[in-house]
Amino acid sequence: MTRALENNVFVAMACRTGTEKNLWGFGHSVIVGPQGKILTEADRKERIITAPIDLEMIHTWRKYATYMRDRRTDLYARLLDF
């Protein structure tokens, strides 16, 4: 949810479920919107999940998520020049 929110993108995360050898998967794959809100989530069973993606939402949300304008890009070169 955090990666979707801070990057203003939709994120789909597939998680392993069931057991294989000594590995145990907890499931709960998710699709998250750019506001960090879970649009759909699977349970612990094997599932295919879908969610409607409204690309216009990204443009609308970016009006409110103004932290990207606060970046100090003028410092990037100094940080990389060592």
> What pLDDT shows up at residue 33?
92
pTM, whole model, 2 decimals?
0.69
- Written as six digits, the tokens of 66 are 């103004």
- Written as six digits, the tokens of 80 are 């990389």
pLDDT, tens only, 9-55: 899 998 888 788 888 888 889 999 988 899 999 988 888 999 999 88
Positive/negative CA dihedral, 72, 74, 80, 82: negative
